[in-house]
Amino acid sequence: MKVSIFGLGYVGAVSAACLARDGRYVIGVDVNPDKVRMVSSGQAPIMELGLSELLAAGIQSGTISATTDAPQAIHNSDVSLITVGTPSKPDGELDLSAVFGVCESIGRAVAKKSTAHSVIIRSTVPAGTMSACREILEKHAGGTPVHVACNPEFLREGSAIRDYDSPAFTIIGTNDPSAEQAVRDLYSGIDAPFLVLAPEQAELIKASANAWHATKITFANEIGRLAKNLGVDGRVVMNVLKEDTKLNVSKAYMSPGFAYGGSCLPKDVRGLLSQAATANVNLPLLQALEVSNRCHIDAAEKMVAATSRSPVGIVGLAFKPGTDDLRESPAVELVQRLLAKKKELIIFDEDVYAATLTGTNKQFIETQLPQLAELLISDPESFSQKAGALVFTHASPRLRTLIRPRDDATPIIDLAGLFSAPPENGNYEGSGW
């Protein structure tokens, strides 16, 4: 396989060195002649452990070359990687001018070839970019087939070669089988699963991963600031959190769904913030948790309020399945808001029976939702027949049986991720998918 790599910055240089080491013939392309001269002489244009050695070996073996001549590189390669930078504009939007410029150059060069060419976008780009790149490539390719895929990279500075060799997965964002195969061939020697996704999904994953990393860093720093002001070593606190791989460092709580609630999370977040306020420690990330959670309920309310069918059947009232705990349940707040809008509601929760609620749970309902007994329907068949629309706040699989044969106009609003694919019956809408 002969590969041209457009952009000899961090990602491009590392990719070039590793691909050449693994037996690919690589042509590095850059508009900066200084970078081209450095790579051509086997020198790393960036600081990265082990990179100079790999580049020097590639130059010596003849598997790496570098040029400023884009058409020549396209003529002598089968696959092109786009690894140019996408810096921020003043308003925060990513500057895609280099990516689009490279696509135009590749398209014009491909037009002069008689064989198909594959283009793989490694640059970090916002969702929807690959579609725009395909249009540019096809516009300038003059009918010569161009196969396009998005292949986001997850290389960390200082450990980039190790990350290249041992990724968690290799993402291929494309609907084009030829482009998919090109990526598979490119990384055939890497021991990692291939995940084939829609292009927009692949593009969003890279930004989401970086946002998650930034969130983890900020969270740890906020805990550290609070801990210090309380005379506690925040490193010890976070080290203990990391030991729990069942909940804290795991897949738990990592799926889009309904807002958090219950007797623990809301209370303990508020308690932590109260303690921080007393210690005069500003924790904006943790303060934003409640704001974001309310926004999620706002979005759910808007979705349900938009339906004209009635009564609206709310499926799930407790803060999560398998319990009758209604304290600070987001479903209870949703019901309150809808009742305030004069929505006609009925509720089904197989674990909640108004007559059996006791203690704090009973007091909460008496003050927050006194009409609960009038809204609850305990028989699932009766509930399903009466509901003009269905709103799922719980994701228990057995709740799918509530969808019985009915006309296709029935709104089904899934706030919890109960359905992995839209059900055949009804007009389905998910809250985050």
Contact (Cβ atoms closer than 8 angstroms) between residue 422 and residue 408: no
| Omega of the bond leading into 311 within 30 degrees of 0 (cis) | yes
The string of DSSP letters for 152-165 reads ---PPTTSHHHHHH
Domains of the chain: 2-197 (3.40.50.720), 200-247 (no CATH), 294-430 (3.40.50.720)
Those residues whose C-beta lies under 8 Å from the C-beta of residue 97, and which sit 6 or more positions away, are none
Q: What is the mean pLDDT of residues 325-346?
A: 95
Those residues whose C-beta lies under 8 Å from the C-beta of residue 63, and which sit 6 or more positions away, are 20, 23, 24, 25, 26
- Output the pLDDT for position 381: 94
- Residue 423 is inside which H or E element, if any? none
| pLDDT cut 90: percent of the chain above it | 82
- Output the pLDDT for position 357: 78
- Output the pLDDT for position 164: 97
CA distance 80 to 5: 6
CA distance 331 to 311: 16
- 187 by DSSP, 3-state: which? coil
Q: What is the mean pLDDT of residues 316-325?
A: 91
406 pLDDT higher than 70:
no
- Output the pLDDT for position 353: 84
| pLDDT cut 70: percent of the chain above it | 99
Residues 212-223: pLDDT tens digits?
999 999 999 999
Q: pLDDT band for 404, please (50, 70, 90 cuts).
A: confident
322 C-beta neighbours (distance < 10 Å), count = 10
280 Rama sector, left if φ>0, alpha if ψ -120 to 50, beta otherwise: left
Written as one letter, the residue type at 339 is L
Q: pLDDT band for 363, please (50, 70, 90 cuts).
A: confident
Specify which of 110-114, 147-151, 268-272 reaches the highest per-range mean pLDDT.
147-151
Q: 288, 324, 309: which is closest to 429 by C-alpha? A: 309
358 pLDDT higher than 80:
no
Average pLDDT, the chain: 93
- Output the pLDDT for position 129: 96
- Output the pLDDT for position 299: 94
**Catalytic annotation, residues:** 264
- Output the pLDDT for position 348: 97
Q: pLDDT band for 408, please (50, 70, 90 cuts).
A: low
CA distance 16 to 57: 12
54 pLDDT higher than 80:
yes
Residues 231-244: pLDDT tens digits?
999 999 999 999 99
Q: pLDDT band for 227, please (50, 70, 90 cuts).
A: very high
Q: 415, 242, 235: which is closest to 334 by C-alpha? A: 415
Q: How far is CA 89 from CA 24, 197, 261, in A?
A: 35, 28, 38
Residues 72-128: pLDDT tens digits?
999 999 999 999 999 998 988 999 999 999 999 999 999 999 899 999 999 999 999
Q: What is the mean pLDDT of residues 285-304?
A: 94
